[in-house]
Structure 1
């Protein structure tokens, strides 16, 4: 995975965590423990934003160039000087596999 993909996956997980903490706040009595969890989730959100901002430029949108491969068959004359090494016994007449 690229850095951008990893940061996006981490952001999704963090968003899920923040939503879960919000649901927990509605079910658990307000107290120090739930406030600490909420604060920790907020700190994680800030840290991830800083990490995303510190990422090297160009990594956020860098994608490998796509290469189009034609479906038309290759010219068989390209392979006339090639030997059959590595092609298997089925490609060589009169020979059998060991």
Structure 2
């Protein structure tokens, strides 16, 4: 089976799952549990859309939604931190050297 055929089969299965969840919601009502399942199916739809776009060579996918920022890699050096960074930290509770933990 080709990649396109696999993605089409997944789309059909996902559509069937969404219809099943909708029927189940009609039977049990719109409680928290069914909302979580519906939310999960929505996430699956979004993930499949992104997978299809990346498989088609359209790039990594859409830009992050408004209010969201892309995560960037931050390197942290292995060198020890300057000890003056911790000045005043002893007043944060259990970390004080002259006090004992409860």
Using structure 1 for the length normalisation, give the TM-score: 0.56
Distance 1:56 1:18 in 2: 24
Q: Structure 1 runs of 4+ off > 6 angstroms?
A: none
What's the CA shift for 1:31?
Answer: 1.0
Cα displacement string for residues 36-92 of structure 1 (whole angstroms, at most 9, x for unaligned residues): 0000000000000000000044xxxxxxxxxxxxxxxxxxxxxxxxxxxxxxxxxxx
Distance 1:4 1:53 in 2: 11
Partner of 2:7: 7
In the TM superposition, what are the counterparts of 1:1-98 in structure 2 within 5 Å?
1-57=1-57
**Ranges in structure 2 where 5+ consecutive residues have no aligned partner:** 58-102
Of structures 1 and 2, the one with the larger relative CO (CA 8 A, separation 6+) is 1
Partner of 2:81: none
**Ranges in structure 1 where 5+ consecutive residues have no aligned partner:** 58-98
Larger Rg: 1
State the aligned residue count. Answer: 57
* SS, match of residue 30 in structure 2: coil
What's the CA shift for 1:29?
Answer: 2.5
* SS, match of residue 30 in structure 1: coil
